[in-house]
């Protein structure tokens, strides 16, 4: 049977795990998105 401290580490550890995952995707995603739209808006229109 897990101890109270063990349960606390488990609950908060999983939460921190999720934060790391979120940042790993969110950071590059925002960068890619801004890059994609800024490069697209700076391009002249190819065809009407």
Partner 1 sequence: MIKLEVNSLIGYVVMFGFGLLFLLISALISKRLPIEGVDDFLVAGRKVPFALIAAAVAVSWIWTTTIMGAAETGMWFGISGGVNYAWGAAVPFFIFIPLAMHLRKIMPKATTFTEFIEQRFGKKTKNIFFVFGTAVVFYIIVEQGVGAGIAFQSIFGIPYKLASFLAIMIVTLYIAKAGIRGSLFNDLLQFFIIAIILLTVTPIILHHFGIDFIYNGLKDVATNPNNINYNPQALSFMSTAGFRYGIAALVIAMGQVLLSQGYYSMALATVSNKSLFYAYIIAIFLVWVPIPIISSNIFGNIGLAMGLAPGHGIEFTTQVSPYVLKFVLSGYGSIIFCVLIFMTAMTTGGNCLAGVQALFTVDLYKLIKKTNVAEEKDKIHFGRIATIIFGLLAAIIATLLDGVSLLRIDIFSGILFAAPCSAFFAGVFWRKPTPRLAVFSIFLGLASGLAAWFLIDNQDINWFVGNVLSLLVPVATVVIGSLFTKNEFDFAKLKEYDPGHKVNVVEEGK
List the interface residues with partner 1, window 29-48 (CB under 8 A). 29, 31-33, 37, 40
Per residue, what are the HEC states of 1-48?
CCCHHHHHHHHHHHHHHHHHHHHHHHHHHHHHHHHHHHHHHHCCCCCC
State the nearest-atom distance from the C-beta of 1 to partner 1, in Å: 5
Q: How far apart are CA 29 and CA 26, in angstroms?
A: 5
List the interface residues with partner 1, window 9-28 (CB under 8 A). 10-12, 14-15, 17-22, 24-28
The footprint of partner 1 (CB under 8 A) covers 1-2, 4, 7-8, 10-12, 14-15, 17-22, 24-29, 31-33, 37, 40
């Amino acid at each position: 049977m897990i101890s109270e401290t063990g349960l606390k580490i488990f609950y908060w550890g999983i939460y921190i795990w999720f934060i790391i995952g979120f940042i790993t995707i969110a950071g590059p995603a925002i960068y890619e998105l801004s890059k994609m739209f800024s490069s697209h808006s700076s391009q002249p229109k190819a065809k009407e």
